[in-house]
Structure 1
Amino acid sequence: MSNGKGDAMDPKGLIRESYRIEGISEAECRSILMDWALSLAPGQDQRQALEALLALYGVEGHPMTKLMQEGLSSVARAGRRGGWRGRRGAAGR
């Protein structure tokens, strides 16, 4: 995108730019990915956004690809918290 801005899936163009940085480290990608997650619109489906961005930019062996794939698996595991907090949330409704 020529205006330097992103779209709904990558509002700041952070993911796109991370793939353009030669020699980027996993730590740098982790920081960028956190900033990306915070820039999503409230209520936006992170899983859908990650899948779309992986399809668009994913390059085997790139640290951002690895982190986004890990993010997909952690989003899939997210669910009810265990222990008393999980039970208390359900009982207090």
Structure 2
Amino acid sequence: MKPGQDTHDPKGLIREAYRIPGITSAQCRTIFMDWALGLPEAQEPRASLRALLARHGDGAPDHPMTQVLRDGLGGSIAPRRRGGWRARREP
């Protein structure tokens, strides 16, 4: 499939990430961010993540991009308070 023809991976970034030998988790996260930012506004990313995991992840369960896609489906973690006046005051 050529880039631009796949609605779930319009630029072919995820497909190419699986083809790069020795790719690291950090590189996969960078590619994932580029992929996410390149999706059309109206597109539901979770549906695309599920489709991409079914297409690529089943055949490569130990690939770092598979883990990044799974993490993307997991949702965001609730932010924790960091700093503030309580962190700066002495005990």
Is TM (by shorter chain) over 0.5? Answer: yes
Long gaps (5+) in structure 2: 79-91
SS at match of 1:10: coil
How far 1:43 moved relative to its partner? 1.9
CA distance in 2, matches of 1:50, 1:60: 15
Q: Which has the larger radius of gyration?
A: 2
CA distance in 1, matches of 2:69, 2:44: 14
**Structure 1 gap ranges (5+):** 79-93
Question: Structure 2 counterpart of 1:44, which letter?
Answer: Q
> Which residue of structure 1 lines up, in the alignment, with residue 47 of structure 2?
48
Paired position in structure 1 for 2:36: 37
Identity %: 55
Query: 1:65 maps to what in 2?
Result: 66
Query: How far apart are the structure 2 equivalents of 1:43 and 1:25?
Result: 30
Give the Cα–Cα distance (whole angstroms) in 1 for the partners of residues 61 and 8 of structure 2: 20
SS at match of 2:75: helix
Runs of 4 or more, structure 1, over 6 Å off, are none
- Normalised TM-score (structure 2): 0.77
Count of aligned pairs between the two proteins:
76
User: Counting helix residues as a fraction of each chain, which structure ranks higher?
Assistant: 1
